[in-house]
Structure 1
C-alpha cells in the first residue's frame, strides 16, 4: 500500500520536531494512523514538503529493525508453482505420478498380451506333437526340460541373475512343484485325447475350483456376487461338455484334474513363499527344475524308452525327419 501526504513547504531541523510543542493544541483529523518518530541516519534535516511513502502496512508497527530485516520484509517471496504439490491449472496436463501409473498399466497389458500369444503358439504346437507322437508324459517332461535348460543357460551367462536359495526354500517349494507337475501332465494328457479348444474351455472353470477349495477347505468366505459369477462359468463348461462331438472321458478328467492341481499350486505358493526374496521369473524357473526332477521317473515308469522308440519310428514315417513344422 502506498500513501501520499503533501504539506506546505516548511523545513524544520529533525531534532526540533519532537521538542516543539504547539501552544494551543488543535485536534486535527487524519486518515492515517500516527507514525512514531524515527531518527534518520542519513540526514538530520527532514523536509515535510517531500511526499511521504509508506512501503507496506508493516511500517505502522515497530520501525526499530536492522537494514537487513527491512530488506527481507519488503521483498515478496515467490515460490515455484509445483513446489507444494498444488493442483495444476490445466487438468489435462499429465503429472509424473499419473504418467508412471499409466506406464505400469501399459506394461502389465503388454505382459498379458505376450503371455496370451505365446500360450496360443504353445498349444498349437503341443497338439501337433501329440498328434504325431502320442506320449503326453514324455512331452510334458521335454517341455519342462527345455524351460529349465533355458534358465540354466541364462544364469550361467549372467543374462539373468541367479537366485540365492537355501535348503528351506526348496523344502517350501516341493509341494508347489508336486501340484504343478500333476496339473501340467494332466493338461497335456487332456490335449492328447480331445481338441485343444475343449481342454481350455474346461480349464476356464479354474476360478470356480479356486473359490470352492478356498471355501470348503481353507474356510475363506466370499461375497455373494462372487458366487453368482460362478454360475455362467460352470454352465458354460457343462454346456461345452454336453455338446462336444468328440467327447472323451480321459480328456475331460485330465482337464478337471489340471484345474484342481493348479488351484492347490497357487494356494501352496501363496502360503509357503511369503517373505522369499526371489523374483517371479527365477521362482518359476526353480519350480520347473524341481518339477522336472519329480516327473522324470514317473514318465519313464508309465511310458518307458521302448514305447518312445516305437512312437518315434511311427512319427518319422508319418511326417518325415522334420523337427520344425
Structure 2
C-alpha cells in the first residue's frame, strides 16, 4: 500500500515537473517572439545578453544566498581552459536561437531545432570518426525527411533565419560533444552550468551587442511609446529564462530518459500550437505533416538510443555508461538560458 502511494506521488511529481517545464519553455519562446515582433525590439544580441545577465544573477542567488544547490568547485585554471570554450559555444547557441526567432516563425524554428540529434551523430561520425549502429542512422531518416518537407512548404520561409537555426543546431551538437571532454569529471546540473557559464557568456556577448546594436537600442528607447511596460517584458523574459533552467533540472530528476524524450517532443508540438494561436502565422497542411514527421522521428530516435544503451548496460553491467547516452534528445536537455 505504501509503495503504491509512493508510486502515485512520484507520478504526480513527474507530471507537475513536465508541466512547469513546458510552461516556462513555451512562455520564454513566445515572449522572445513577442519582443521581436510586437515590441519591435529587433535586437537578438541584446535580448540574449539580458538573459545571460538575469541567469548569472539568478544562479548566484540560488547557490550562494539561498543555498538551493551545492556549488561544484572548479579550479581557476579549469574555468578558462574548460568552461570558457564551452561558454563561447553556449553563447553562440543561444544567440543563433534568438536570431532565428527574429526572422522565422516559432513553429518553423522549433521544428528545425529537432534536427539536433542528426547533426550530433553526423558531426561525431565525420569529425571524431565515431561508429553508430544502423538503427541510429535509420532513426534519423524521418527527422531529415520531416525537416526537408517542412522547409520546402514553409510559407514564411526566410533564408537568413533558416541558416541561423541550422547553425544553431550545429552549435548545440558541438556543445554536447565538447561537454564530454571539457567537463569530464565535473557532474554539473543545470544551475551549476549556468552559474559558471552565464558570466562568461555575458562577457563574450556584451561587446558585440554594444557595437552592433547599441545605437539601435538607444534609438528604440527614445522612439518607442510604452517604454516602461516593454522593458518589464524584456526583463521578465530574462528571469523566466533562468527559471527554465531550474525546471529542466527537476524534469531530468523526476522522469526517465524515455519520458523526457517524449515530453520534449510534445513540448515542441505545444509551442507550435500556442505560437500559432497567438501570432497566427500561416501553416500549410504539408508543413504540419513535415513537423509531425520530424517529431515522430525524434521520438523514434530516442527510443532506439534507449534500447541500445539498455543493451550495453545489460551486456556489460560494470562498464561505464555508454557515450551514446550523451547524445541529445531534441536539444532540450541542453536547452539552457
Same fold (TM over 0.5): yes
RMSD of Structure 2 on Structure 1 (CA)? 2.4
Selected match of 1:262 from 161, 169, 172? 172
Corresponding residue number in structure 2 for 1:146: 54
Corresponding residue number in structure 1 for 2:266: none
1 CA distance for matches of 2:130 and 2:150?
A: 30
Corresponding residue number in structure 1 for 2:65: 157
Q: What does 1:20-35 correspond to in 2, within 5 Å?
A: none
- The C-alpha deviation readout for 1:207-250, integer Å capped at 9, x for no partner, is 11011001111111111111111111111111111111111111
Q: What does 1:127-138 correspond to in 2, within 5 Å?
A: 127-131=33-37, 132=39, 133-138=41-46
1:242 aligns with 2:152: yes
1 CA distance for matches of 2:135 and 2:15?
A: 26
1:182 aligns with 2:88: no
- Cα 1:155–1:115 shift into 2, 3 Å: same
1 CA distance for matches of 2:139 and 2:18?
A: 22
Selected match of 1:116 from 12, 18, 22? 22
Corresponding residue number in structure 1 for 2:126: 216
- 1:198 shift after superposition: 0.8
Corresponding residue number in structure 2 for 1:125: 31
2 CA distance for matches of 1:193 and 1:280?
A: 29
Determine helix, strand or coil for the equivalent of 1:303: helix
Q: Is the 8 A contact 2:45 2:95 kept in 1?
A: yes
TM-score w.r.t. the length of structure 2 is: 0.62
1 CA distance for matches of 2:125 and 2:158?
A: 30
Q: Is the 8 A contact 2:112 2:147 kept in 1?
A: yes
1:309 aligns with 2:218: yes
Determine helix, strand or coil for the equivalent of 2:229: coil
- 1:284 shift after superposition: 2.7
- 1:185 shift after superposition: 0.5
- 1:111 shift after superposition: 4.0
* Deviation larger for 193-202 or 285-294: 285-294
Q: Is the 8 A contact 2:100 2:160 kept in 1?
A: yes
Structure with higher helix content: 2
1 CA distance for matches of 2:137 and 2:35?
A: 38
* Deviation larger for 149-158 or 194-203: 149-158
Equivalent pairs counted in the alignment come to 228
- 1:151 shift after superposition: 1.4
Unaligned runs of 5+ in 2: 234-337
- 1:152 shift after superposition: 1.8
Q: Is the 8 A contact 1:134 1:311 kept in 2?
A: no
Corresponding residue number in structure 2 for 1:231: 141
- The C-alpha deviation readout for 1:267-301, integer Å capped at 9, x for no partner, is 11111212125444212321222111111112112
2 CA distance for matches of 1:235 and 1:94?
A: 48
Q: Is the 8 A contact 1:164 1:278 kept in 2?
A: no
- 1:166 shift after superposition: 1.8
- Cα 1:263–1:109 shift into 2, 3 Å: farther
- The C-alpha deviation readout for 1:12-43, integer Å capped at 9, x for no partner, is xxxxxxxxxxxxxxxxxxxxxxxxxxxxxxxx
Q: Which has the larger radius of gyration?
A: 1
- 1:194 shift after superposition: 1.1
- The C-alpha deviation readout for 1:163-208, integer Å capped at 9, x for no partner, is 4222133121111111111111111000001111111111111111
- Cα 1:228–1:195 shift into 2, 3 Å: same
